[in-house]
C-alpha cells in the first residue's frame, strides 16, 4: 500500500509518522509531499524524503489556464478560501497568481500520484489551496482520500473519508439516525462523560526544530520576502502572529465581570475559521454576527442580556472597540472560564462553533446560524435567515430540551465517531485509537 501524506504545516509529518508507526501492517510505503521550507525540514527530521525532490520557485507560476484540466470556475472555487481569508486581513492578493499556483500543484500531484502508484492520500483540513488541489486530483484518479482535523471535543480527532466538519459524513445523519442509537451507558451527565478517558502523558510529538528567536527571524525573512512572492496563498505572518498572541495572552488579566441572571451567550469564532469563511452562507464575519443577533435578541427576548466572548486567536488582531461603543449594554469577555459562562447562560447562538457542542453537553439551547454537522433537528435550533432567527430565539427560550436525543447525539459523536488524539501531543492510547481508525479506512474504505 502506497500512502501520500500532504503536509501543509510543521506538525503534520511528526503526527503522521506516529500514526503510521502504530499501524500493524507488513507492507506500507509512505510518501510525504510538502512545499513550505519549515514543513520540508520537518519531513527530513523524521527521516523521510520530502517531495518534490527539489523546489524550483521559478516553476510555480509558469502554467496558465490552458494547462489545467480544471475549468476556470473550478479553479476559482479552489482558491476561494485562501483568497477570502487573505483579502479580509487587508493583504493585496492577486487571485490569478493563486490560480497559477493551484495549476502548479495540479501538475505536481498528478505526476506524483502516478509515479509512486499512490493508493491513498491523507490530508489535514479540506479547503486550503494545496489541500483542495491534492484531494481533487486524487479523486480524479480514483484514489481514496482520508481527511483529518481536530475534533470539537478536547483531545479528539476527526478521521473521515468524506471531509471534515460540515463536509464530513456526520452531516448526512439526521434525527432518526440518532434516535435509533443505543441509550448511552454513561450515567454521569457532566462534561467528563464526553472527554477522553485516557490519562494522557502529554509527550510532545514535535519537540521543535527551531528556537523561538530563530522562528521569529525565519518568519520575518521567509514570510515577508520569499513567501510573499512565491506562496501568494499563504501571504500572512502566522508565526509572528502566533508569537504576538502568546505574549498578549500572558499579560491579559482575567475579566472581573459578574454575569447577569438571564443572558444569551454569543461565542465569537476565529475570523479566518473555514467554518465562517466557507460554511456560513449568510453571515461572513463576526461584526455582522453580533449586529444581527443583537437586533433579534432585543426584539424577541428584550429582558435577556447579551454576553459576547472574543476568540483567543483574534486577540491583538481584531479590534471590536467600535462595536463596544455602539452596543455599550453588551457584556464583553476576553479571559473568562467558558464553562462557567455556558453553565450560567440561558441559550447560546453560534454560527457553527465547537462551543455549540460544549453548550449541548451543558444541556443549553443552541441556535445554529450556519452549516454544521450538529445542525440536527431536535438537537439544536436552526436559523438560516434573519427571519427564522427571531423564531428560533423564541423557541429556544420557550421550549424544553430533548435530553434523550442530545445524549444519544453526544454519545455517538464522542464514542463512535471521534477518536482520541491531539496533533501536537503523543500518548500510546490516543495514537493507537487514531491509528486503528486510519488503518480501517485505508483497508476497507468503510464510511462511519
Q: Which has the higher per-residue pLDDT, 79 or 28?
A: 79
| Sheet strands side by side (includes 50-51) | 50-51, 29-33, 2-6, 120-124, 144-150, 156-160, 419-420
Query: What is the pLDDT, as a whole number, of residue 132?
Result: 98
| pLDDT tens digits for range 254-277 | 999 999 999 999 999 998 888 999
Q: Are 119 and 160 in contact (CB under 8 A)?
A: no
Query: What is the pLDDT, as a whole number, of residue 202?
Result: 38
Query: What is the pLDDT, as a whole number, of residue 198?
Result: 44
User: Same CATH topology for 2-150 and 263-412?
Assistant: yes
Query: Is a pLDDT exceeding 90 seen at residue 53?
Result: yes
Query: Is a pLDDT exceeding 50 seen at residue 345?
Result: yes
Q: Which fold has domain 2-150?
A: Rossmann fold (3.40.50)
Query: Is a pLDDT exceeding 90 seen at residue 303?
Result: yes
| pLDDT tens digits for range 36-52 | 988 999 999 999 999 99
pLDDT band at 118 (very low <50, low <70, confident <90, very high): very high
Q: What is the DSSP code (8-state) at residue 380?
A: B
Instruction: List Cβ neighbours of 234 (8 Å cut-off, separation of 6 or more).
Output: 36, 82, 227
Average pLDDT over residues 172-177: 98
Query: Is a pLDDT exceeding 50 seen at residue 185?
Result: yes
| pLDDT tens digits for range 127-165 | 999 999 999 999 999 999 999 999 999 889 999 999 999
Is CATH 3.50.50.60 the right assignment for the domain spanning 263-412? Answer: no
Average pLDDT over residues 90-95: 80
| pLDDT tens digits for range 191-244 | 445 555 444 333 344 445 556 666 666 666 665 566 667 888 876 555 556 666
Segments making up each domain of the chain, as ranges = 2-150, 210-246, 263-412
Query: What is the pLDDT, as a whole number, of residue 89?
Result: 67
What is the distance between the alpha carbons of residues 418 and 155, in angstroms, rounded to a whole number?
Answer: 10
- Cell 508507526 belongs to 21
pLDDT band at 250 (very low <50, low <70, confident <90, very high): confident
Q: Which has the higher per-residue pLDDT, 191 or 335?
A: 335
What is the distance between the alpha carbons of residues 10 and 355, in angstroms, rounded to a whole number?
Answer: 27
Helical segments of 66-182, H only: 72-88, 95-116, 129-140, 175-179
Amino acid at each position: 500500500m502506497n500512502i501520500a501524506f500532504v503536509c501543509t504545516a510543521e506538525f503534520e509529518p511528526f503526527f503522521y509518522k506516529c500514526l503510521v508507526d502504530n499501524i500493524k501492517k507488513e507492507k506500507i510505503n509512505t510518501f510525504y509531499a510538502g512545499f513550505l521550507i519549515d514543513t520540508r525540514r520537518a519531513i527530513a527530521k523524521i527521516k523521510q524524503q520530502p517531495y518534490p525532490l527539489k523546489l524550483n520557485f521559478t516553476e510555480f507560476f509558469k502554467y496558465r489556464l490552458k494547462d489545467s484540466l480544471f475549468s476556470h470556475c473550478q479553479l476559482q472555487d479552489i482558491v476561494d478560501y485562501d483568497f477570502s481569508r487573505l483579502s479580509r486581513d487587508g493583504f493585496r492578493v492577486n487571485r490569478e497568481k493563486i490560480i497559477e499556483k493551484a495549476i502548479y500543484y495540479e501538475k505536481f500531484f498528478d505526476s506524483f500520484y502516478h509515479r509512486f502508484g499512490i493508493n491513498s492520500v491523507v490530508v489535514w483540513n479540506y479547503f486550503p489551496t494545496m489541500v483542495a488541489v491534492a484531494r481533487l486530483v486524487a479523486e480524479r484518479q480514483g484514489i481514496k482520500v482520508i481527511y483529518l482535523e481536530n475534533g470539537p471535543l478536547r483531545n479528539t480527532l476527526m478521521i473521515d473519508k468524506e471531509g471534515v466538519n460540515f463536509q464530513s459524513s456526520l452531516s448526512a445523519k439526521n434525527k432518526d439516525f440518532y434516535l435509533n442509537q443505543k441509550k448511552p451507558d454513561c450515567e454521569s451527565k457532566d462534561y467528563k462523560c464526553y472527554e477522553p478517558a485516557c490519562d494522557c502523558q502529554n509527550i510532545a510529538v514535535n519537540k521543535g526544530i527551531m528556537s523561538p528567536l530563530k522562528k521569529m527571524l525565519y518568519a520575518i525573512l521567509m514570510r515577508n520576502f520569499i513567501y510573499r512572492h512565491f506562496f501568494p496563498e499563504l501571504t500572512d505572518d502566522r508565526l509572528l502572529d502566533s508569537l504576538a498572541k502568546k505574549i498578549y495572552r500572558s499579560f491579559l488579566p482575567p475579566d472581573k465581570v459578574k454575569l447577569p441572571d438571564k443572558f444569551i451567550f454569543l461565542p465569537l469564532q476565529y475570523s479566518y475559521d473555514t467554518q465562517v469563511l466557507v460554511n456560513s452562507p449568510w453571515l461572513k464575519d463576526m461584526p455582522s454576527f453580533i449586529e444581527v443577533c443583537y437586533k433579534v435578541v432585543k426584539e424577541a427576548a428584550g429582558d435577556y442580556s447579551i454576553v459576547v466572548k472574543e476568540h483567543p486567536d483574534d486577540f491583538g488582531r481584531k479590534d471590536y472597540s467600535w462595536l463596544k461603543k455602539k452596543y455599550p449594554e453588551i457584556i464583553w469577555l476576553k479571559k473568562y472560564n467558558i464553562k462557567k459562562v455556558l453553565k450560567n447562560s440561558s441559550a447560546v447562538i453560534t454560527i457553527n462553533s465547537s462551543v455549540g457542542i460544549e453548550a449541548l453537553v451543558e444541556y443549553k439551547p443552541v441556535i445554529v446560524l450556519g452549516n454544521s454537522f450538529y445542525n440536527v433537528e431536535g438537537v439544536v435550533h436552526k436559523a438560516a435567515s434573519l427571519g427564522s432567527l427571531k423564531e428560533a430565539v423564541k423557541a429556544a427560550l420557550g421550549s424544553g430540551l430533548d435530553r434523550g436525543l442530545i445524549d444519544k447525539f453526544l454519545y455517538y459523536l464522542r464514542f463512535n465517531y471521534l477518536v482520541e488524539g491531539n496533533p501536537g501531543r503523543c500518548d500510546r492510547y490516543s495514537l493507537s485509537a487514531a491509528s486503528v481508525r486510519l488503518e480501517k479506512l485505508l483497508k476497507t474504505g468503510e464510511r462511519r
